[in-house]
Amino acid sequence: MAALVFAACQALVFSCFAYIAVRWYKREREETIARVTQAAADFLTAPNSETPSPLAMLLDQSALLLSARLVQQVKAMLAGVESGESKGEQLALINEATASSPWLAMLAGILPRRIRNGLMKNPQMIGALANIGKGNNHQTTEAPPLRRHRE
């Protein structure tokens, strides 16, 4: 009989603990849901009419960062295309200038690229160098402009 009373007491204590645990779990769950709901509401709503909500500020900053990166990428891409076009123009100018004078062709092959490009940008210098090879360097003739204007 004592074992039966002891088992009943154990069942009663266990059920009390279970009841308390279930009540505690429900209360904690409700409080957690209330805190999460309040945090979401605070994040989504503006504190006043002059201040935007944190979500609006986050989206604004993200849009600014994304657009800045996009502009940076487009500029880099266009600079690469422009660089390729200018290199192509420079090569065309060198070929055009060296076709008229073997002296310029030899000089363009010997000079370093930096100096050669500097000379090719100056039409008067090209004219003077072309005249040196022809033997009439005492005349002052101006070479036709070799730079093409971009349209």
- Among candidate residues 104, 110, 109, the one with its CA nearest the CA of residue 125: 104
Total number of domains in the chain: 1
In a domain, 35, yes or no: no
Specify if 49 maps to a domain: no
| 32 within some domain | no
Angle between the N-to-C axes of helices 113-120 and 102-110, in degrees from 0 to 180, rounded to the nearest 10: 140
Given a cut of 60, whether residue 149 has pLDDT beyond it is no
Asked whether residue 84 is domain-assigned, the answer is yes
Tens digits of per-residue pLDDT, 81-109? 666 666 677 667 666 666 666 766 776 67
Residue 133 has pLDDT above 60, yes or no: no
Residue 92, φ and ψ in degrees, nearest 5: -65, -40
Concatenate the DSSP letters of all residues of 77-112 into one string.
Answer: HHHHHHHHHHHHHHHHHHHHHHHH-HHHHHHHHHS-
Which pTM does this prediction carry?
0.40
Domain membership of residue 16 (yes or no) is no
What domain range is 75 assigned to?
A: 59-146
